[in-house]
Chains A and B, each alone.
Chain A
């Protein structure tokens, strides 16, 4: 599979941030969609079938950790990268325990984020064999 086939879903309640990040990742040949809260993200799982989800933690309604738990229950194959402005070491541990691929703090470097997405996708492909 080529890089342009990687489907990414950005989940963040900051609409401007989600949209700008989406544009920047699209410029790096990724297919990117957005959701602005946890409920929307879960609804998009079945329709968009993302490979990698970039997930904020503190959002209105469902907390990111609940969303991560739900994603892993419904679609364990999907890789989740947490991108938060509020992460503590405890949050990072919890996210990894729930199956999160990586834990980044805002503002993240775009090239680092793109690299993590590719690594997450690669691991997903390897797991599938």
Chain B
């Protein structure tokens, strides 16, 4: 991660939101293009007179595809809406798995560009925590994005969650070769991320093989 010179946390958070929105709009544009083309295909089949009675299966297949992409669009909007509402209050009770799930859905596009898969290994019954959800997402995104940037194509990242005593643990585990990335977009320093997590009553440890372990207090001080 880069060394900062008094960089503004708010600016970095805005960049984070900008990245999420860029990935989101790109994905939605693709889904809408698929829906438009599928609809156009039905139109073509009818207007170009290339239909026969045996075509009903093809029509069904096209309408199923339209439905599938409307569903995908709807899901992505749901994640974005939840993500936006994470900023409603500075402190809230929330489920860490859910915040990570929406983060993964919104950053998958970046990982896909390098054929990097993001896997989840969540403790299912993880207790809710009282903390700052948007800051937690920002810190998780910063580490995740850093790893996506620097990992080689076809790598894997696993995000693991677990509860322990009065804390929850979030581990980001990369698998693959690390390269020097070409992406020059500014990254927040490790020290600043550490400071944010400390303010939330937790800590960060960089473990073996570039794993990152973030421990969060169940109740933010």
Q: Do A and B come from one complex?
A: yes
Instruction: Answer whether residue A27 sits at the interface, using C-beta atoms and an 8 A cutoff.
Output: yes
Instruction: Answer whether residue B205 sits at the interface, using C-beta atoms and an 8 A cutoff.
Output: no
Give Cα A17 to B68, complex, Å: 13
Whether A20 pairs with B38 at a CB distance below 8 angstroms is: yes
Cβ < 8 Å to B, chain A residues 37-87: 58-61, 63, 85-86
Instruction: Answer whether residue A3 sits at the interface, using C-beta atoms and an 8 A cutoff.
Output: no
Q: Which of A16, A23, A63, A85 contacts B29 (CB 8 A)?
A: A85
Instruction: Answer whether residue A110 sits at the interface, using C-beta atoms and an 8 A cutoff.
Output: yes
The number of chain B residues with a CB under 8 A from chain A is 23
What 0/1 pattern do residues 89 to 117 of A give for CB contact below 8 A with B?
Answer: 00000000000000000110010000000
- Listed in ascending order, the chain A residues whose CB lies under 8 Å from chain B are 13-14, 16-17, 20-21, 23-24, 27, 58-61, 63, 85-86, 106-107, 110
Q: Which of A60, A63, A107 contacts B37 (CB 8 A)?
A: A107
Q: Which of A16, A21, A23, A24 contacts B69 (CB 8 A)?
A: A16
Whether A24 pairs with B113 at a CB distance below 8 angstroms is: no
Give Cα A58 to B111, complex, Å: 12
Contacting residues, chain A, for B44 (C-beta < 8 A): 24, 27, 110
What 0/1 pattern do residues 60 to 87 of B give for CB contact below 8 A with A?
Answer: 0010010001000000000000000000
Contacting residues, chain B, for A106 (C-beta < 8 A): 29-30, 33
Contacting residues, chain B, for A16 (C-beta < 8 A): 34, 38, 65, 69
Query: How distant is A56 from chain B, measured CB to nearest CB, in Å?
Result: 9
Q: Which of A20, A24, A27, A63 contacts B34 (CB 8 A)?
A: A20
Instruction: From known contacts A14-B34, A20-B38, A107-B33, infer whether A27 and B115 are also in contact, taking CB-CB under 8 Å.
Output: no
Could you write out 22 A-B pairs with CB less than 8 Å apart? A13-B112, A17-B34, A20-B34, A20-B37, A20-B40, A20-B41, A21-B37, A24-B40, A24-B41, A24-B44, A27-B50, A58-B113, A60-B112, A60-B113, A60-B114, A61-B153, A63-B113, A85-B26, A106-B29, A106-B30, A106-B33, A107-B29
Query: How distant is B179 from chain A, measured CB to nearest CB, in Å?
Result: 14
Task: Provide the main secondary structure of the chain B interface.
Answer: helix
Give Cα A106 to B153, complex, Å: 26
Closest B residue to A59 by beta carbon equals B113
What 0/1 pattern do residues 118 to 156 of B give for CB contact below 8 A with A?
Answer: 000000000000000000000000000000000001000
Instruction: Answer whether residue B32 sits at the interface, using C-beta atoms and an 8 A cutoff.
Output: yes
Instruction: Answer whether residue B11 sits at the interface, using C-beta atoms and an 8 A cutoff.
Output: no
Closest B residue to A56 by beta carbon equals B30
Query: How distant is A8 from chain B, measured CB to nearest CB, in Å?
Result: 15
Contacting residues, chain B, for A58 (C-beta < 8 A): 26, 113
Query: How distant is B15 from chain A, measured CB to nearest CB, in Å?
Result: 17
Contacting residues, chain A, for B34 (C-beta < 8 A): 14, 16-17, 20
Contacting residues, chain B, for A107 (C-beta < 8 A): 29, 32-33, 36-37
Give Cα A110 to B33, complex, Å: 11
Give Cα A83 to B4, complex, Å: 38
What 0/1 pattern do residues 141 to 173 of B give for CB contact below 8 A with A?
Answer: 000000000000100000000000000000000
Contacting residues, chain B, for A110 (C-beta < 8 A): 37, 40, 44
